[in-house]
Amino acid sequence: MLIAAVHQNRIIAHQRLPRNRNVNFEVYKEFLEQHLLPEVRRQRIRTPLIIHDNARPHKHQEITAFFARHRWVELKHPPYSPDLNPCDYDLFTRIKTPHKGFRFANEDELTRAYEHTIYDINRKNEAIGISRLPQRWEQVIHYCGEYII
């Protein structure tokens, strides 16, 4: 399981969770506080625009309060629209594709491989899903909310 945040075609924060650990609001809040917030401050991003799906951890009152406290803007996401989440249709595919079919000897090897892939994506400015969002949004409207392949 991987949590990632993108800003201007770069992955600015990410966290790989240990095996069998799911994302609940506590895990997501920890990611926001310990990984994303320090990067937002370091890079002096004035008003982060948060785009995520409608999963329970994203909608928890403590998460909403966190965004309000830090003056981060959350883009309203239509229900059942994974086609509008840039991470789902672009970023995670880019991260996972180089490792398809490969079996890692242990979790450390897996972590190193994914860290290297994220480094390459950032070096090449390939986290471009966010720049495709307006076009993707138009496609979702055109197809009346049907999934886009």
In the chain the domains, ranked by start, together with CATH numbers, are: 2-142 (3.30.420.10)
Report the pLDDT averaged over residues 108-120. 93
Q: What is the pLDDT of residue 40?
A: 96
Q: What is the pLDDT of residue 99?
A: 92
Q: What is the pLDDT of residue 76?
A: 73
Q: What is the pLDDT of residue 80?
A: 64
> What global pTM score does this model have?
0.79
Name the range with the highest mean pLDDT among 48-57, 61-70, 130-139.
Answer: 61-70
DSSP 32-100: IIIIIHHHHHHTT-SSPEE-----HHHH-HHHHHHHHHHTPEEPP--TT-GGG-HIIIIIHHHHHGGGT
Tokens of 53: 């799906």
DSSP one-letter code for 14: E
pLDDT tens for 71-89 read 998 877 666 666 676 666 6
